[in-house]
Amino acid sequence: MLHVVTAEQAGKRTDVLVAFLCGASRSLITQSARRGEVLVNGSPVKPSRPLETGDVLEFEITRPPVLVAQPESIPLDIVYEDDDLLVVNKPAGMVTHPAHTIVSGTLVNALLAHVQAALPGDLLRPGLVHRLDRDTSGLLVVAKREESLRALGLAMKGRRVEREYLGLVRGVPQHPLGSIEGPIGRDPRNRLRFAIVDDGKPAVTHYEVREAFAEHAELLFRLETGRTHQIRVHLSGIGHPVLNDPLYGKVESRFDLPGQALHAWRLSFRHPSSGETMTFEAQPPAAYVDAKALVRRPLERP
């Protein structure tokens, strides 16, 4: 595509104007410019280059293919199912939905094959009311109809979906009952992590010490909000990271866990059609139980 910069457009950054002209994101334009797909007066330029009246823009933006989740025959642990929804017990190690380079083997791929019909909502997150981290096991509710997805989504936003987690943490919190409040956003030093930051979204995690050991504890968590990595960030913030957490704690080879020892064990909500209160529980998987047995025994030191 060719475009001659007008007097009104002069002074704008190259990436800003190209993004406007082709209806794409600036990040996509930046990637295209680095591949030499954006030219000014016949030469490749930096995305930040300011434009002048009469400059000739030439660009052809390569857009990434639209990802669509595909059905895959993967075993599922279905705890409950009816015409409106289903509750599934996700294993640790399974990604909840396709994203970026992970396009298969996810819970969504398995759900589409199980339901054998279209699920409502986003193409990559169909039916999902909430999600769990890849290495967090436990209960998820999935909507099968548009009305159910809408009702459960509103219930989640209104904090009327009760979620409880079990987790093993390093050390024993000083107080047996407590609440952790701290806004969560992207870690400015590592974009793969989240952190407690001043301009983050409000987040509240309530905890209760369920059992204390010599160097660890098992905690029961109740979420008041549902931020990404919330429990993991908050527990790391108070000096008691979740056991074996690769991002916010320390991985120990003696534990046969795929990642953090965290399990969504209890889920309660009102059925979107009947209004009946429904409560489901799923006990932690064997790897979690084995890790708990190990922390009961203090580590022998040389």
What are the boundaries of each domain within the chain? 2-59, 78-296
Q: Residue 92 in contact with residue 259, Cβ under 8 Å? A: yes
Q: Which of 15, 133, 135, 187 is catalytic?
A: 133
Strands (E), 134-261: 137-143, 162-170, 177-181, 184-187, 190-196, 204-212, 216-223
Please determine, for residue 171, whether its predicted confidence score (pLDDT) is greater than 90: yes
d(CA 80, CA 60): 50
Note the pLDDT of residue 25.
83
Per-residue pLDDT averaged across 243-269, rounded?
A: 95
d(C-alpha 122, C-alpha 86), whole Å: 17
- Helix, coil or strand: residue 158: coil
Distance CA 47, CA 27 (A): 10
Q: What is the crossing angle of helices 14-22 and 26-34, to 10°?
A: 110
| Mean pLDDT over the full length of the chain | 92
Active-site residue, 82 included? no
Task: Write the DSSP symbol of residue 90.
Answer: E
Q: Is the pLDDT of residue 264 over 90?
A: yes
Q: What is the pLDDT of residue 66?
A: 61
More confident residue, 133 or 99: 133
* Confidence band of 302 (pLDDT split at 50, 70, 90): very low
Tell me yes or no: is domain 78-296 CATH 3.30.2350.10. yes
Residues in the chain: 302
Give the pLDDT confidence score for residue 65 in this predicted structure.
63
Residue 44 has pLDDT above 80, yes or no: yes
Q: How confident is the model over 266-285, as a mean pLDDT?
A: 97
The structure tokens listed for 115 are 């339901």
Torsion of CA 216, 217, 218, 220, to 10 degrees: -140
Distance CA 94, CA 289 (A): 19
Summarize pLDDT for 198-244 with one digit per residue, the tens.
999 999 999 999 999 999 999 999 999 989 999 999 999 999 999 99
Q: What is the DSSP secondary structure assignment for residue 142, as one 8-state letter?
A: E
In this prediction, residues 84-96 reach a mean pLDDT of 96
**CATH class of this structure's domain 2-59:** alpha beta
**pLDDT value for 270:** 97
- pLDDT tens for 104-161 read 899 999 999 999 888 998 877 899 999 999 999 999 999 999 999 999 999 999 999 9
How far from the centroid of its chain's Cα atoms is residue 265's Cα?
18
Using alpha carbons, list the distances in angstroms from residue 131 to 96, 188, 204. Answer: 6, 24, 17
- pLDDT confidence of residue 169: 97
